[in-house]
Chains A and B, each alone.
Chain A
């Protein structure tokens, strides 16, 4: 029993540690890599950037299930042309907010995926310094593990250097959908661990605590 419980509590601690990286404010500025690199090479642990598309779920035969459209990982294109970071100046999109690079979402929506669901307390992102972009309001979507929409922020891509900021916490976020048509930079994230994770962590501590007295005896 002791042998079994110890690894469980270790996993729980590790999970917490992963989420703890967002407990404090984390900033992703994409400047640690050279232009043209994959976005994931500039992503912190626990975050992955994927190309996204808005498609139906598939049934067991691979056929589309009507009225089930969601933002999904575009597995085909993501493999052939992964999301990159680039210098917006090279695209005539103005200087990046943070320095040299920004996330390039010009031609496809990007799914910012968290390894585990988190409760977002703060989230903001800075757009490129150009007037290019969709003329109708774009949206930044917060999605749960099943890609259901938890919340959204509307913004205008054609406003140079616009800052899109979360105004109220959103719980259970597993993905953030960044609309296509712009560069995104200086992504700031703050989060607290999710209750299930917390529960697992606490249960680990409790078990750890239970074990300890036995050991003492």
Chain B
């Protein structure tokens, strides 16, 4: 009897569950954007507040909604604080959506919404399906107040972004450039002289380990982007360019103050950091669409200076060296075009973007000489390599007479980052009566740390510091300028582990064993002493292989061979269009083969499939100088940096 009763109760439970499911059948809301903890936890947690905006900053509202089987979605309505949002809701359906969604799923969007009412807000989406069953879900966001008229505004904003530059990268550059004496740095780096410092939490929307796309985007939107995405939130569509957008710092200040934008990088200009100041895409690799959007929406971002590598995207696809491809071009849906007032784009691999830039009034510099001679045109494009520029070490070695590497890449006359920065400042200063936003990226601090090429990432950090000096000098004579030095994340888990106990001659002569190259070489604690490098008149060390040199370890490493000596060649760069042709195809492919005959094997801690070292999740230092610098301090989330910049730029600072 007991058994019978038990079965009966189970049956009744199952029936009631089925009944409940039938009664409660309704559309499902699987995504609500902007992202919120309130929606993610189905109301259980209201914080932390994920999406935050300054008053008037634009962003898209979006929801992914699915009907019950056999039904269709008949309407989607967005409400803020219970009041329907004015504007038309557009839909993306069918094969345009990613696989795996229920039949007749719709992605509903309301583009370019903004709110000037300071405080917390509730975003509600109400969905009705064809049998009039309804569902709703709530999210939240905050409009962060700007304290108005506290003082003078920061008219110019300069963000010096050392890609992957953690605290140890900075210290290593200080040791190599200036040296220490009895425990004190003989000289400080320029970045050491900035008066205010904060520690920055760098996580992205979906990971404690960010990549450069959200790493930069988070600073200039105030919102968390997902890895590989910039200026957008994730969605459920296939198109990488239709994702829900959030307005950039550059776009907001161009729209409300008429500011100009300058982007300077030693990377390919399509790379994540430069693109994450002006381009909205869920695919940081979509180079053709990214560079097209730079140009097409220059009137929205104020883009006035664009300097770096990346010529391969600007050449028609039929030109040797071109990388333009339909698979990574962009064509926007009409709701994005009308909502944001941006160019629609086109799939146009034959486009000669270099020619279009020039015919619309942009001066063009192809190398250091033409950059130096270009003066201060109204708009300036400089593309100094097919893809990423050569790194500081190879450029300096080239300028000192050994141009083998830069010749192999085909660009023997590339400018240094400080020269590019000075030119950008000159052009922006001459053409920006309402101020500018300038982002300068020391890109290969990251790229060479990935490669665990210690001398190359340290030399790039020194090059970056020289560029910082240009920015600081400008701010010193233009006190309405705010200069920030920061990084998007740390790269490779760099640590200064000590110094060699050998002369360079002895180091070179040692066998490729751990006994000879590790146990007999690596000096820790007292044995490390103070490595001595000699600074040349060009501002870089005479040699990166002095006797008893500084040694670098990596915590986020893959397998590598290490002989501690400067590599004559950088690793191959897969971004280079002629990477697989001579002479670049003779360069070492990865750290698993480089120095195999001269170094000892260090077993990595991350999967070998990574090929190179990876980013790490530790906080990174930010330094501030100039108008509003006091707004930066303590431990800040990377998105909070945006609000401090905006306080200085919109509200003013003492």
CB distance from A200 to the nearest CB of B (A): 35
B55 touches A136 (CB 8 A): yes
Q: How many residues of A contact B (CB 8 A)?
A: 30
A179 touches B148 (CB 8 A): yes
As a 0/1 sequence over residues 35 to 49 of chain A, the CB contacts with chain B under 8 angstroms (1 = contact) are: 000000000000000
A158 touches B256 (CB 8 A): yes
B7 on the A face (CB < 8 A):
no
A136 touches B146 (CB 8 A): yes
As a 0/1 sequence over residues 164 to 201 of chain A, the CB contacts with chain B under 8 angstroms (1 = contact) are: 00000000000001011100000000000000000000
Task: Decide yes or no: A177 and B149 within 8 Å by CB, A134-B256, A134-B650, A135-B55 being known contacts.
Answer: yes
CB distance from A30 to the nearest CB of B (A): 17
From 120 to 162 in chain B, residues with beta carbon under 8 angstroms from any chain A beta carbon are: 146, 148-153, 155
Closest to A141 in B: B149
Q: Which residues of B contact A135 (CB under 8 A)?
A: 55-56, 114, 116, 256
A93 touches B258 (CB 8 A): yes
CB distance from A161 to the nearest CB of B (A): 16
Q: Which residues of A contact B118 (CB under 8 A)?
A: 136
Closest to B257 in A: A132
Task: Decide yes or no: A134 and B148 within 8 Å by CB, A53-B654, A90-B433, A106-B434 being known contacts.
Answer: yes
Which residue of A53, A136, A139, A158 contacts B152 across the interface (Cβ within 8 Å)?
Answer: A53
A75 on the B face (CB < 8 A):
no
A54 touches B151 (CB 8 A): yes
CB distance from B23 to the nearest CB of A (A): 46
A108 touches B152 (CB 8 A): yes
Q: Which residues of A contact B654 (CB under 8 A)?
A: 53, 55
B652 on the A face (CB < 8 A):
yes
Q: Which residues of B contact A181 (CB under 8 A)?
A: 153, 257, 650
Q: Which residues of A contact B114 (CB under 8 A)?
A: 135
Closest to A177 in B: B149
A115 on the B face (CB < 8 A):
no
A53 touches B256 (CB 8 A): no
How many angstroms from the CA of A42 to the CA of B480 in the assembled complex? 25
B256 touches A108 (CB 8 A): no
Of A52, A106, A139, the most chain B CB neighbours within 10 A belong to: A106
Q: Which residues of A contact B650 (CB under 8 A)?
A: 134, 181
B152 touches A77 (CB 8 A): yes
Closest to A135 in B: B56
Task: Decide yes or no: A107 and B153 within 8 Å by CB, A91-B434, A136-B116 being known contacts.
Answer: yes
Q: Which residues of A contact B153 (CB under 8 A)?
A: 106-108, 180-181
From 54 to 91 in chain A, residues with beta carbon under 8 angstroms from any chain B beta carbon are: 54-55, 71, 74, 77, 80, 90-91
How many angstroms from the CA of A181 to the CA of B652 in the assembled complex? 10
B→A interface (CB under 8 Å):
55-56, 114, 116, 118, 146, 148-153, 155, 256-258, 433-435, 479-480, 650, 652, 654
Top 8 A-B pairs, shortest CB-CB distance = A135-B56, A53-B151, A108-B152, A109-B149, A91-B433, A136-B55, A107-B153, A54-B150
Known: A92-B433, A107-B153, A136-B118. 15 other contacts (CB 8 A): A53-B151, A77-B152, A91-B433, A92-B258, A108-B152, A134-B256, A134-B650, A135-B56, A135-B114, A135-B116, A136-B146, A180-B148, A180-B149, A180-B153, A181-B650
| 14 pairs from A and B in contact (CB 8 Å cutoff) | A53-B150, A54-B151, A55-B654, A80-B479, A91-B433, A91-B434, A92-B258, A106-B257, A108-B152, A108-B153, A136-B56, A136-B118, A136-B148, A158-B256
